[in-house]
Amino acid sequence: MLRYALALALLISPAVATAADKTAYDTAIEHAELFDQLGDTLLTGVSALLDTGSDAADVCPDLESAALDWNKAAGFYDQAIAAPKDAKDTARASDAVLTDARDFSLKKASEGQRLFDTYCKGVKAPG
C-alpha cells in the first residue's frame, strides 16, 4: 500500500509532468530520478518498520520493490546516456556522471536483492 501511495505522489508531482518541450534526455533522467527516489523511500520505510518491531513478512515486499525500482532507474540512466544531444538540454549531465548514477543504482539494487534473498526467501507475505 505504501508503495502505491508513494508512486502516485511522485508521478503527479510537477517534476514529472509531461511538457511538449521535453527532450528524450529530460524524460529519461526524470524517470531515473523518480525510480531511484522511490527505491530509497521504500528502503527508508523498511528500516522504520523494522525499528518498530515489524517482522520480515511485513517488509519483504517493499524491500523487493526497492530493488526492482533501482534496476528500473539504472535502465533510465542508460536511456539518458543514449539520448541524442539536444540544444534544449541545458542542464544535461556528463556521460560519466550519468554512468556513476547508474552504477550506484545497480549497486543499491544488488544490495537490496541480496538482503531480500538473505532474509525474505521463504517468508510468507502477510494476508
pLDDT at residue 78, as a whole number: 97
Residue 56 near residue 119, CB atoms below 8 Å: yes
To 10 degrees, the CA torsion angle through 14, 83, 108, 30?
Answer: 0
Written as nine digits, the cell of 49 is 518498520
Distance CA 35, CA 57 (A): 23
Express as a percent the part of the chain with pLDDT over 70. Answer: 82
Residue 10 has pLDDT above 70, yes or no: no
pLDDT at residue 126, as a whole number: 63
pLDDT in tens, 54-68: 888 888 999 999 999
Over residues 25-40, mean pLDDT: 96
What average pLDDT does the structure give for the chain? 85
Written as nine digits, the cell of 81 is 546516456
Residue 6 has pLDDT above 70, yes or no: no
HEC states along the chain?
CHHHHHHHHHHCCHHHCCCCCCCHHHHHHHHHHHHHHHHHHHHHHHHHHHHCCCCHHHHHHHHHHHHHHHHHHHHHHHHHHHCCCCCCCCCCCCHHHHHHHHHHHHHHHHHHHHHHHHHCCCCCCCC
Residue 118 has pLDDT above 90, yes or no: no
Express as a percent the part of the chain with pLDDT over 90. Answer: 54
pLDDT in tens, 65-106: 999 999 999 999 999 999 998 888 888 889 999 999 999 999
HEC states along 46-58?
HHHHHHCCCCHHH
Q: Which pLDDT band holds residue 7 (cuts at 50, 70, 90)? A: low
